Amino acid sequence: MASTPSITITRLDLQRLEQLLDGLDEFGPTAEALQAELDRAEVVGHEQIPAGVVTMNSRVHCREEGSGKDYHLTLVYPQDAGGEGKVSILAPVGAALLGLSVGQHIDWPAPGGKVLKLTLLEVEYQPEAAGEYAR
């Protein structure tokens, strides 16, 4: 990623994602990118995470700046990916979205080596803000 905005994650997400990474048979580039995000994140308790920050199982609204196209995505664990708008934390855009705050931008690697710029417009649903911690 060319731009790396500051990110915040919950202690519980960190623990669950470290377990996920520890259990992988193959530690590829996306797993390495996720580990790098976890290593640089500010870690807080689930009751301290601002409502406008992307956590696991958050539903977000973002816009690709080049085309103006809007996306509504839900950041999920790999076993829950595949449904419409559900993006695995192990997908490049998933690892990039984790911990992002409303208004921040990320570079999203697209097929063919193209890089798209995504802006996080809104966190439509965040489990912590809804009081749902046992995801």
> Which residue, among 73, 69, 92, has the nearest Cα to 82 in the 3D structure?
73
pTM: 0.89
Exposure of 14 by Cβ count < 10 A (0-12 exposed, 13-18 middle, 19+ buried)? middle
Contacts of 41 (CB under 8 A, 6+ apart): 7, 8, 9, 14, 98, 99
Q: What is the mean pLDDT of the chain?
A: 90
Q: Is the dihedral of CA 117, 105, 109, 54 positive or negative?
A: negative
Angle between helices 11-22 and 29-40 (to 10 degrees): 150
> What fold characterizes domain 8-125?
Chitinase A; domain 3 (3.10.50)
As a whole number, mean pLDDT of residues 9-29 equals 92
CA separation, residue 60 to residues 18, 23, 28, 34, 114 (Å): 23, 27, 26, 19, 22
pLDDT band at 135 (very low <50, low <70, confident <90, very high): low
pLDDT at residue 134, rounded to an integer: 64
DSSP secondary-structure letter at 23? T
Taking alpha carbons only, the member of 65, 61, 64, 63 closest to residue 74 is: 61
pLDDT of res. 79: 93
Domain spans in the chain, listed from the N-terminal domain onward: 8-125
